[in-house]
Amino acid sequence: MNYRHAYHAGNFADVLKHMVLVALIDSLEQKASPFCYIDTHAGRGRYDLKGSEARKTNEADAGFGVLRTATGLPPLLWKWLEIVRACNEGDEMRFYPGSPWIAAHLMRPTDSAQLCELHPEEAGALRQLFHHDKRVHVHQRDGYEALNALVPPKEKRGLVLIDPPFEAQEAEFRTIEKSLKAAMAKWPTGVFAVWYPIKLRSHVQPFHRWLGKCGAKRVLAVELLLRPDDSPLRLNGTGMVIVNAPWKLDDALRDSLRLLPKLLGTPGESEYRLTWLVEEGKDEAPAHGPHAPHSVRRR
């Protein structure tokens, strides 16, 4: 376990992931009944962009750093940016919020969060960050194992974020599939969001194929590609899949998503994709790749 998210906090992949997270929580809050947020790989909850790790890579400069000065942002990106502002005091914008902070900020008094983090230092920081918040429960344990024990939550509705560091590379997808299969069997109506890196397209395709047959009625893939997905050596793009995607989630994401390649990528090389891997009412999962019938792909 060498991975530390502080090196990457606020980069383009965090922007996509956290924008989708905000849209998912917005949709859960359409109903008054409480929901449970489960984060299997929570991290430390908040990151110091002036800390030595962040300054070593400066990855946030090409993600959050670009958007913080952008004008005319669509409402979803604007809301995400307001959340980052709320994580800071004054105008300095020194801190970038992790997924637990964003979720807890949006949660209502009756909602709850179960946060899992295996690394002792990160788990300690997370516990400290939320020690005052009775809605939030921190577990220092393996997130995949914990997921099986935590679902279904007593609220019976909610969201699971699976955001592993992918230290196992392609093999991580198989671990996710196994874990999702067990969790979905125990909680078929839960919303499950999984983050993944895009290096080589051929690494992602088997996962998408598995999702197409996993039994869920609605599975949406949201991707941001900065460069062609043809090299295993660098992070060319990033994606999220949402199992049991809320109604009209694609519409909620579209305006903000279409702006990201323009703001964060290189003209002619960057694109976004919004693809229904499984769509309710359609008998078969669509073919995959650029010509999938339910895929929107734009530069």
Q: What percent of the residues of the chain are helix, what percent strand, and what percent coil, each to the nearest 5?
A: 40, 20, 40
Total binding residues toward ligand SAM, as defined by CB under 6 A: 21
The crossing angle, in degrees rounded to 10, of helices 12-28 and 99-106 is 30
**Dist. CA 262–CA 267, nearest whole Å:** 7
Q: Does residue 199 touch ligand SAM according to CB under 6 A?
A: no
Q: Does residue 239 touch ligand SAM according to CB under 6 A?
A: no
- Answer for which of 41, 127, 203, 218 binds ligand SAM (CB under 6 A) is 41
**Dist. CA 57–CA 181, nearest whole Å:** 36
For residue 276, give the 3-state DSSP assignment: strand
Q: Which two tokens stand for residue 142?
A: 């393996």
In angstroms, what is the minimal distance from the CB of 142 to ligand SAM? Answer: 4
Kindly list the catalytic residues. 163
User: Is 129 in contact with 55 (CB distance < 8 Å)?
Assistant: no
Q: Nearer to ligand SAM by C-beta: 119 or 203?
A: 119
Among 149-157, 161-169, 222-230, 236-244, the segment contacting ligand SAM (CB under 6 A) = 161-169
Among 36-44, 54-62, 79-87, 179-187, the segment contacting ligand SAM (CB under 6 A) = 36-44
- Answer for which of 59, 111, 163, 279 binds ligand SAM (CB under 6 A) is 163
Dihedral sign for Cα 171, 177, 178, 180, please.
positive
- Answer for which of 59, 122, 229, 279 binds ligand SAM (CB under 6 A) is 122
Q: Give the end-to-end CA distance of the chain in Å, rounded to a whole number.
A: 36
Q: Does residue 3 touch ligand SAM according to CB under 6 A?
A: yes
Q: Which two tokens stand for residue 284?
A: 């078969």
- Answer for which of 12, 24, 25, 43 binds ligand SAM (CB under 6 A) is 43
Question: Which residues would be at the binding site for ligand SAM (CB under 6 A)?
Answer: 1, 3, 5, 17, 39, 41-43, 98-99, 116-119, 122, 142-144, 163-165
